[in-house]
A and B are shown apart, each in its own frame.
Chain A
Amino acid sequence: MLNLQGYGPSILQGTLLTIELCLAALGISMILGITGALAKLSNYRPLNMAATAYTTVIRGIPDLVLMLLIFFGGQVLINQLGPMVGYEEYIDINPFIAGVSTIGFIFGAYMTETFRGAILAVPNGQLEAGYSYGMTRFKVFSRILLPQMVRHAIPGFGNNWLVLMKTTALVSIIGLNDMVRMAALAAGATRRPFTFYLVIAINYLILTSISILILNWLNKKYSAGIIKD
């Protein structure tokens, strides 16, 4: 049943693109997440409100709608801005960049919540002890806060990563050649949609399973020396 009729390599190419997309989006979402978390915990009100608005709005809108908004809307916006700065040609948005930035932007909001919780889980006395040693804010962050918050962040981070991976399937809708779209093309040509979508489902299951194994290992590693109750 799993005769791929020569479409194996193209599916594999799509799989590689999916993985690239996942990792790139993860990078963006982590940067946005840590920034957002620090903004949410800061005492400066405008920063605080901006971060809260960001997480509330993102969590209220479906990924697909945001992606279509950024992809189609961004296209219009860039082509309106282009002539203003003297660029006359029609600009096409690269779907890879649209996909990565949208997914990164969405999961930045989820990461913000995760990291915020993890930062709050580090006892305040530890940070105060750092300050009383005369450490700068950055040193307290990098030496005391960061190493300890990792342990609290891993479960939430793992969840976000698993959801993020599945969300990347949406980029096939905006025309990116990820594995779902490759499967759709192959299915159309061979009239065997079930076979090809099943292969993609198995691919996702493999990616998920590997991720779970790595996350469990990380969790174990960072919980070393912590007694479970």
Chain B
Amino acid sequence: MDFSIIFDNIGIYFEGLKNTLMLVSISLFVGLIFAVPLAVLRTSKNLFISGPIWVYVYCFRGTPLLVQMFIIYYGMGQFELMKSSFLWIFFKEAYFCALFAFTLNTCAYTIEIIRGAIENTPHGEVEAAKAAGMSSLLRFRRIILPSAFRRALPTYSNEIIFMLHGSSLASVITIIDITGAARIVNSRYYSPYEAFLTAAVFYMSITFIIVWLLKKLEVRWFAHLRRE
């Protein structure tokens, strides 16, 4: 093995690192923003409100991210209407398509996580809020959502890691993320070990940093449950 190849090309990896972090953070952020209200609506008893959200979540959780990305990146070009509309400026860009697919995907998973957390709210908390005369909006804002976020955090941590790993698929549609960088180095020098092991080290480092940060957040959020 000859890791001098990697040192000569480390710039590509850092370029890839930048792209990976951008894709993951933007899609997670936007996904979360949309997931919270949708998760609240998903718990509605009105089928016309919760039904469509259920279908969306079921479809996106039931199909591979790769296929979703292909439908958006390759599939949209099939429609003349799409090609002639202003949206085509976005959909012809691989970067936008990857971002769009990742966001839709993580949003679906996040809705399911938050919904689970909302439905597991202890009855007593809700009853106490009702007894105190809170309106349903106030109840959601002050009681149900804060307590649901706490319960959702460990599962959401997993989703963050999954998204980080899922983002490696962007390399398939020509984006140079960390995996894309490794594929370039591999095809240039035919040195799969060096190329992909370096990518693996990059991903593992990010994973451990994220896990460490989330542990700290968990300690903070669960401070009231700690035993002294």
A residues in contact (CB < 8 Å) with B:
57, 59-66, 68-69, 72-73, 75-76, 166-170, 172-173, 180, 183-184, 187, 191-195, 197-198, 200-201, 204-205, 208-209
Contacts and interface: CB of A to CB of B under 8 A. Distances in A.
Interface stretch (B27-35, B63-71, B218-226): B63-71
Contacts of B67: 169, 180, 197, 200-201, 204
Given A170-B64, A180-B64, A180-B67, 11 more contacts: A61-B203, A61-B204, A62-B165, A62-B167, A72-B192, A166-B64, A173-B172, A187-B74, A193-B78, A194-B71, A194-B76
Nearest to B187: A72
A65 B196 contact: yes
B200 A170 contact: no
Contact count band on B: 35 or more
A61 B63 CA distance: 21
Given A76-B193, A166-B63, A180-B67, A197 B203 contact: no
Nearest to B172: A173
A197 B71 contact: yes
16 contacts: A60-B207, A61-B165, A62-B166, A62-B167, A68-B186, A69-B192, A75-B192, A167-B64, A183-B70, A191-B78, A193-B74, A193-B77, A194-B75, A197-B74, A201-B67, A208-B62
Scoring B70, B76, B79, B197 by chain A CB atoms within 10 A of each residue's CB, the highest score goes to B70
B66 A73 contact: no
Interface in B177-228: 179, 182-183, 186, 190, 192-193, 196-197, 199-200, 203-204, 207-208
